Structure 1
C-alpha cells in the first residue's frame, strides 16, 4: 500500500519543503474568484460609505463654524491690533454726518449755559427803571428769541472750524490710539475709551472736542462757556436692551478668536482629504462656504436694519447712525466678501478640473490656445527645447506648485481683500499660461546634446 501524502512531502512548494523554494500558490476556481470579487467590491463600497459619512460630518462642522470663525477673527484682530483699530474708527472724524452731530450737540450744550431769558429780563428792568415807554419794555422782553438765535449762530461759527479742522482729525486718531481699550469696552464691557458701554447705552466720548471748543469759546469772549460741565462729554449712540448678552458672546469670541478659524480650516481640509473624491468634495466645500458667507452678509444687513430701527432720531440722526455702523463693521464685511470671492474661485477651479462637458470644452480651448501660441513662438525662433519638454512632461506637478504658491501668498497676506485675491489669481493664471506656452514651444528633439540637457 502506498503511503499517504503528508504536509512534509517533498513536492515543490509543499508546506514541508525545506529546500528554500517558494510556497505553492493556490489557484482559485472561477466560483471562488467571483466570490472574492464580490466581497472586495462590498468592502470597497462599505469603505467609501464610511469615508463619505466621516467627510460629511467634518464638512457640516466646518460650514457651521465658518461664519463664527470670520466674526471671531474680526473681533480678535480689531481688539489686538492698535493700527487696525485706529484705521477702523478714523473715518468717523471726517464724515459729514458725524461732524454735523458733534457740531449740533456741542452748540446746544454751549447755548444751554447761556441764560438768554435772564439777560432780556434784566434789560427790561433797566429800561423800565429808566422810564422807557411800555412798548420799548415789551420789545426788550421779545428779544429772547432773536438773541438766542444770534448766540447759537455765533457759537456754531466757532465750533464748526474746530470740528472740521485737520487738527481735530489728528487729535481723534491719537486719542483712539492712546485709548486702545475702546473697542474692548464695547465688545466686553470692560475698561474705558472713546466708545464705551454704560449700562444699556453705547456712548461716544467727545471729551477732547469739548475741551477744545470750550477753550476756543472762552478765548472768543464767551466766558460762560467755561461753565460747560465735564458730564457733557458723551453722546449716546444707541440703547441695547440685550447688550449684556451680546457682550458675553463677544467675550467668548475674543477668547476663541484665534482658534476657531484654525479649527474651521482644519475641518474643511480633513473633509476634502477624507472624501473618496477629493475634487468633488472640494467643490462642495467651496460652494458651502460661499453660501455661508452670503448668509453672513445677509445677517449683517439685517443687524444694520435692527440697529437703525433701535436708534431714535432724537438720539442720533439716521445718516450718522448708518455711518457709524458701516464704519465699525466694514472690515468684517470686507473679509466676508473676500471669502465669498475665494469660495467662488475655488469652486470654479474644482469644476473646471472635472469631467463636465463645459469643463472639458474650456480645457480644450485653453490647450488649443497655448499650443497655437507655443507654435508661433517656435516659428519665431524662440524654441524652448529641453526645458519646454520637461515642462510638458511635468505639467501636473508645475501646476500644483504654482497654485500652492498662490494659496500661500494669500495666507501670508496681512489683510487679504477682493483686490488682492484678484491680483493673486491673475498672477497664477498668467504663470500657468506662460508655462503652457513654453511647454508647447519645445519643438522636436534635436539630438543627444539636447536630450542630455533635460533635467
Structure 2
C-alpha cells in the first residue's frame, strides 16, 4: 500500500475517533453521573448553600405554608423570612439531600424495574423533618403545617418510557464509544506513514472535540433555560444546570488542554530532532 493510501486511511480513522470523543464523554456523563444516585446527590449538595436556590425554596415553601395554614397575605413576609433563615441550617442541607435522593431513587427504580405508570414519591419524611426544625426555631405557624403521606408525581408515564429507552442506549454507548474511539485512534496512528503527524492530528482532533463539547454544554444551557415556564425560578434553574453539568464542563476543557499539550509536545520533539541546516558554501 502506498504512503498516500496509508495517510488517507489514517486520516479517516483519526477523524472518526475524534468525532466519537465528545459523544462518548456525553454518554459517560449521563450513564455514570446523572444515572448514579450517589453522584447525583453529591452534585446537588452544594446547591443547598446557593442564594438563588435558597430564595426559590423560601418562596415555594413559604407560599405553601401560608396556603396550607390559611395564614393570609400579611403573614407571608414573616413566614418567608423564617423559611429563608431555615435554609441556612444543617437541617435544611440534610432535608435537601434527602429530598433529592428520594426523587432520584424513585425515578431510577422505575426505570430499572421496567414498570409502567407515572413515578410518584412520598416526601412526607422530608416535610416532617422541615416542620420539626421550623417548630424548634419558633417559626410562626410551624406547628400547623400538615404532614401527610401524599405522593407527588415527579415523572409522567410517557416520559418514563422515553427515559427508559434512552437510558438503555446511553448505557451501552457510555462504554463502547470511548473504547471504539481509542481503538480507532490507535489504528489510525499505526497505519500512518508519518506517525508523529498522526499523533499531532489525533491530539488536535481531541482538543477540537473537547471544544465542541463545551460549546454543546453552553448552547444546551441557553436552550434549556429558554424553554422553562415563567413560573420557574430562573436563577435557581441556572444554578441547578451548572451543578449538574460541572463534571461535563471539566471533562471538555480537560480534553482541550490534554489535546493541545500533546500536540505541542509532539511539535517540539519534531523540531528538536530536525537536523541543522548546513550553511551554503561561498
Instruction: Indicate whether the TM-score tops 0.5.
Output: yes
Structure 2 unaligned spans of 5+: 277-282
1:289 maps onto 2:206 in alignment: yes
Q: CA deviation at 1:174?
A: 5.3
> Partner of 2:96 in structure 1?
172
Larger radius of gyration: 1
> Partner of 2:68 in structure 1?
113
Structure 1 unaligned spans of 5+: 1-45, 117-147, 365-455
Q: Residues 210 and 254 of structure 2 are in contact (CA less than 8 Å); yes or no, is this contact kept in structure 1?
A: no
> Partner of 1:273 in structure 2?
190
CA distance in 2, matches of 1:56, 1:183: 43
Query: In structure 2, which of residues 243, 253, 276 is the aligned counterpart of residue 337 of structure 1?
Result: 253
> Partner of 1:151 in structure 2?
75
Deviation string for 1:337-375 (max 9, x for gaps)? 1111000101111111224xxx679x99xxxxxxxxxxx
Deviation string for 1:144-201 (max 9, x for gaps)? xxxx24322342344233322122213433565677636747xxx7269xxxx968xx
Q: Residues 79 and 85 of structure 1 are in contact (CA less than 8 Å); yes or no, is this contact kept in structure 2?
A: yes
CA distance in 2, matches of 1:69, 1:312: 31
CA distance in 1, matches of 2:59, 2:180: 48
> Partner of 1:317 in structure 2?
233
> Partner of 1:263 in structure 2?
180
Change in CA separation of 1:248 and 1:150 when aligned onto 2, cut-off 3 Å = same
Q: CA deviation at 1:235?
A: 8.5
1:222 maps onto 2:136 in alignment: no
Change in CA separation of 1:183 and 1:235 when aligned onto 2, cut-off 3 Å = closer
Q: What is the correspondence of 1:78-93 to structure 2 with a 5 Å cutoff?
A: 78=33, 83-93=38-48
SS of the residue corresponding to residue 87 of structure 2 reads helix
CA distance in 1, matches of 2:123, 2:87: 11
1:347 maps onto 2:266 in alignment: no
- State the structure with bigger RCO (CA 8 A, min sep 6), 1 or 2: 2
Query: In structure 1, which of residues 190, 200, 208 is the aligned counterpart of residue 111 of structure 2?
Result: 190
1:50 maps onto 2:1 in alignment: no
CA distance in 2, matches of 1:344, 1:276: 22
TM-score, normalized by length of structure 2? 0.79
Q: CA deviation at 1:284?
A: 1.0
CA distance in 2, matches of 1:343, 1:167: 44
Deviation string for 1:272-291 (max 9, x for gaps)? 11101000011111111111
Change in CA separation of 1:246 and 1:287 when aligned onto 2, cut-off 3 Å = farther
Q: CA deviation at 1:57?
A: 2.3
Q: What is the correspondence of 1:295-310 to structure 2 with a 5 Å cutoff?
A: 295-310=212-227
CA distance in 2, matches of 1:160, 1:352: 57
Q: CA deviation at 1:233?
A: 5.7
> Partner of 2:84 in structure 1?
160
Q: CA deviation at 1:104?
A: 0.8
Q: Residues 205 and 235 of structure 1 are in contact (CA less than 8 Å); yes or no, is this contact kept in structure 2?
A: no
CA distance in 2, matches of 1:295, 1:205: 40
SS of the residue corresponding to residue 213 of structure 1 reads helix
Change in CA separation of 1:106 and 1:80 when aligned onto 2, cut-off 3 Å = closer
